[in-house]
Amino acid sequence: MAVSVGLIEQLLEVPAPKAWAESWDNPGLLVGDGAAPVSKILIALDGVPAVADEAAALGAELIVAHHPLIFQPLRNLRSDNAAALVPLRLARQGIAYLAVHTNLDQSPLSSSLALGRTLSLRETDFLETTGAETVFKLVVYVPPAQAEAVRQALAGAGAGAGLTGGPHSEAYAECFFQAEGEGSFRPLPGATPFAGRVGELARVAETRLESSVTEKNLSPALRALRRVHPYEEPAFDIIPLRQEGKKRGYGLIGRLPAAVPLEDVRAGFMAGLAENSSLWAHPYDLSVIRWFGEAKKPVRRIAVSNGSGNSLAGRALARGADLFVTGELDYHHRLDCLARGMAVAEMGHFLSEVPMLPALADYLRGQKELAGVEIAISRHEG
């Protein structure tokens, strides 16, 4: 089956659902045709003319980018409108443009998480938690002879995994509870019962099988249940739980094993960035990273935010960060952070977000549906 632009959009919904994006954001397919076939993808941070040149030279039918190409409402598509220039050109050349923006920032592919790993942060938490997965209890009643087949089918669809979002919950799978009991029902005319007779009250042995199911696994679990449950009308309950599943959010905060002078954190982080080729598809100039704060200042708690850190600087301060690693802060936000005793490392917007490109590429290369699709990372430095 040919790979389409729409399939790539669907695959990106798994780590970074569009529904997570901020209301002011504009992610998704911004230029092109969802049904158009794709054999080459260019992954980039921005829809600038140099990236459009690169995509055309490569013969890519799709650009997957972090920043939306169309952000402010476009009032016209005239060639003398700077904001319309690249969209017009891509449309003429048949190149689609798909953006994953604030939804990607909250996903496991976010560069805040990659930078936190490079800093070796422990006991990490999101700097701003934006939501958590809803978890359901799925209770199924099944004849004892079929209980194991139903349990296996449900487990195969992900039921019983990722129970409560607790620190170790991902280390367990196939968590089920079962108890034996008696069910009753009266098949009415028109029914074709698996057990019992039409018009008579049937009392049958049943196994009650319980498991927790996350929101994204609920539909696959119900499909699996309907496939293997012997009843013409499977008996089950879906109960929403107060426990939450996996959290999502912006940025990261964590601690070092012990307090370390800022100059040593800097040396360690810079060496980690230089060595960590999984962050960078191409070599970049790391000397643009600017450090502010006393060299001997002890640092234990570190906050990280890719891109602009203005909106999360207050949270970093409130949560006791000694150092805030971000893309950029405006002048007054930076002065405020320093005045309140928090050192700042500004990586530049580009460097702080470019680790998302290899993360996106690796994710797409790992999808079996995309075998044979060429996935390239832009060489353009914003």
Closest residue to Zn ion: CB criterion: 307
Q: How far is the CB of 313 from Zn ion (least distance, A)?
A: 16
CA distance 47 to 52: 7
Binding segment for Zn ion (CB under 5 A), chosen from 141-149, 232-240, 301-309, 357-365, is: 301-309
Q: Which two tokens stand for residue 176?
A: 């089920």
Q: How far is the CB of 67 from Zn ion (least distance, A)?
A: 6
CA distance 114 to 305: 11
Restricting to residues 103-122, name those near Zn ion by CB under 5 A.
Answer: none
Binding segment for Zn ion (CB under 5 A), chosen from 82-90, 111-119, 158-166, 305-313, is: 305-313
CA distance 137 to 125: 26
Amino acid at 177: F
Q: How far is the CB of 365 from Zn ion (least distance, A)?
A: 23
Nearer residue to Zn ion within complex by CB, 250 or 269? 250
Nearer residue to Zn ion within complex by CB, 187 or 307? 307
Q: Which of 55, 67, 6 is CA-nearest to residue 374?
A: 55
- Sequence-distant (6+) residues with CB within 8 A of 214 are 133, 134, 135, 136, 158, 161, 162, 245, 246
Nearer residue to Zn ion within complex by CB, 169 or 311? 311
Q: How buried is 102 (Cβ within 10 angstroms: 0-12 exposed, 13-18 middle, 19+ buried)?
A: buried
Q: 291: number of CA atoms within 13 Å, CB side?
A: 18
3-state secondary structure of 21: coil
Q: How far is the CB of 40 from Zn ion (least distance, A)?
A: 24
Q: How far is the CB of 65 from Zn ion (least distance, A)?
A: 10
Q: How far is the CB of 211 from Zn ion (least distance, A)?
A: 39
Q: How far is the CB of 349 from Zn ion (least distance, A)?
A: 6
CA distance 292 to 265: 12
Nearer residue to Zn ion within complex by CB, 61 or 353? 353
Nearer residue to Zn ion within complex by CB, 32 or 307? 307
Restricting to residues 28-47, name those near Zn ion by CB under 5 A.
Answer: none
Q: How far is the CB of 350 from Zn ion (least distance, A)?
A: 9
3-state secondary structure of 37: strand
Binding segment for Zn ion (CB under 5 A), chosen from 24-32, 92-100, 177-185, 306-314, is: 306-314
358 with 278: CB under 8 angstroms?
yes
CA distance 16 to 13: 5
Q: How far is the CB of 72 from Zn ion (least distance, A)?
A: 16
Nearer residue to Zn ion within complex by CB, 322 or 353? 353
Query: Per-residue x/- mask for Zn ion, residues 342 to 381, rule CB under 5 A?
Result: -----------x----------------------------
Nearer residue to Zn ion within complex by CB, 346 or 353? 353
Tell me the Cα Rg of the chain. 26
Nearer residue to Zn ion within complex by CB, 47 or 307? 307
Amino acid at 187: P
Nearer residue to Zn ion within complex by CB, 110 or 211? 110
Q: How far is the CB of 45 from Zn ion (least distance, A)?
A: 7
CA distance 145 to 305: 53
Lookup result for tokens 């698996």? 194
Q: Pairing mode, if any, of strands 176-185 and 40-44? A: unpaired
Q: How many residues bind Zn ion, per CB under 5 A?
A: 2
The yes or no reply on residue 307 touching Zn ion (CB under 5 A) is yes
Nearer residue to Zn ion within complex by CB, 256 or 313? 313
Q: Which of 55, 66, 11, 71 is CA-nearest to residue 355?
A: 66
Binding residues vs Zn ion (CB under 5 A): 307, 353
